[in-house]
Structure 1
Amino acid sequence: MNAEPLPDEVDEVDAPPEWLAPAGGYTAEKFLAMRGLPKHTELIDGGLVFVSPQRKWHRRVISMIRGQLRTQAPDEWRADREMAVRLGLRQMPEPDVLVVSAEAFGREDPQSYYEPADVALVVEVVSPDSEERDRDTKPFKYAKAGIRHFWRVERGDGEHVIAYAYELDPATSRYVPVGIFHDRLTIGVPFPIDIDLTALEN
């Protein structure tokens, strides 16, 4: 009669293939050259980050914020969504929404990412599998790269949207909070913006 394995015993697990975790991690150049990656794969600290399929609330919030920013942006700015930003040698996150210069939005090359100097605002809409990245890892890297404005958008009760706005302190290269918004996001930077956060509840 064979004994059942104890609950804390774990079968041996094969090491991941070298392409998934090469020594030293991936550079942005190698990441850009890869084909066949799942949609919205990011490069963070040289590692590939795969994301779960989007939930309806997450997709609707991204669409609402991008639509409002697109409508309200002056001529020199454009709103985009889910495009990578090349922050450094081994960093290529993909914000949910971005405000970029009209010149960067319209240029042909590079076609698959923006540079930090192109970006005025990045927005991350938090989902259950991205909480740590959206609250800690990615804001730190956006700030270090010099992106001046960052919003983190989270779900309250039901469909309720809560937005946390931050601005870069150039003396410390860190974000400082400038507001928490529950019903309307009204702010003057990077340009005057007024978004009804209750729109998803109607």
Structure 2
Amino acid sequence: MREQIAPDLYDSWSEEQCAGIEVVDGMVVVRPSASKRHNRLARILANALEVAAGPDWNADTDFDVRLQDVPLTNRRPDVVVYRAETIDITPTRPEHVLLVVEVVSPGSETTDRIVKVEQYATAGIAFYWRVEQAANGVPLVYTYVLDPATRTYRDGDVFTGVVKVAAPFPVEIDLGQI
């Protein structure tokens, strides 16, 4: 029988041990391997968000965000915009995070479209972007904004080709370079 993992045990594992997994309700979930297109898209988004965010925020890829301690739930969003002053604080908590981006891939559709939306909203993360890799090669970006009173996301704008938003900060990202 499998047992739930406690935060202190998980925190003792190396980065290499944690790299390809998430922990949901205390149980290890193996993440599917990302394609080169997926990784490039995440990197382009992270780089553009990093530049636009200014000095108070960092944008990075592929690290844990601890959504809850009991039962342990750690997610690894494809892109995270977080407070620069928390760069050395581990684990990264929802209150450190402004925006998470998930790039939908085969095998992550339900998790990225339904499960993570609810988890990130419940945790209080203000902005969520979901990127769909369209068959024509031009990604679609769905944006969501947290309603703090209900801890649910409201639908924002949908972009194809170029993402141009004013919040959480002004940024324009050309997705045609994929």
What is the TM-score normalised by the length of structure 1?
0.81
Match runs of 1:2-151 below 5 Å: 18=1, 21-22=2-3, 25-35=4-14, 37=17, 39-89=19-69, 90-105=72-87, 107=88, 109-110=89-90, 113-151=91-129
- Aligned-partner SS, 1:53: coil
Give the whole-Å Cα distance in 1 for the aligned partners of 2:92 and 2:48: 21
Higher percent of residues as strand: 2
1:199 maps to what in 2? 177
Q: What letter matches 2:11 in structure 1?
A: L
Shift of the 53–181 alpha-carbon distance from structure 1 to 2, 3 Å rule, reads same
Counterpart Cα distance in 2 of 1:163 and 1:136: 15
The alignment partner of 1:195 has SS state of: strand
Report how many aligned residue pairs link the two structures. 175
Shift of 1:38: 5.9
Distance 2:44 2:118 in 1: 25
Instruction: Give a deviation string over 1:121-144, Cα, whole Å, max 9, x none.
Output: 000011111111111111111111
In 2, Cα distance between equivalents of 1:95 and 1:29: 21
Which residue of 167, 179, 183 maps to 2:157?
A: 179
Aligned-residue Cα RMSD (Å) equals: 1.5
Deviation at 1:157, TM superposition (A): 1.9
Aligned to 1:5: none
Q: Secondary structure at the match of 2:95?
A: helix
Taking the aligned partners of 2:79 and 2:108, their CA distance within structure 1 comes to 15
Q: Which moved more, 1:25-34 or 1:180-189?
A: 25-34
SS in 1 for 2:37: helix
- Report the AA paired with residue 61 of structure 1: L
Would you say the 8 A contact 1:151–1:164 is kept in 2?
yes
Unpaired runs of 5+ in structure 1? Answer: 1-17
Higher relative contact order (CA 8 A, sep 6+): 2
Structure with higher helix content: 2
Q: Is the 8 A contact 1:28 1:92 kept in 2?
A: no
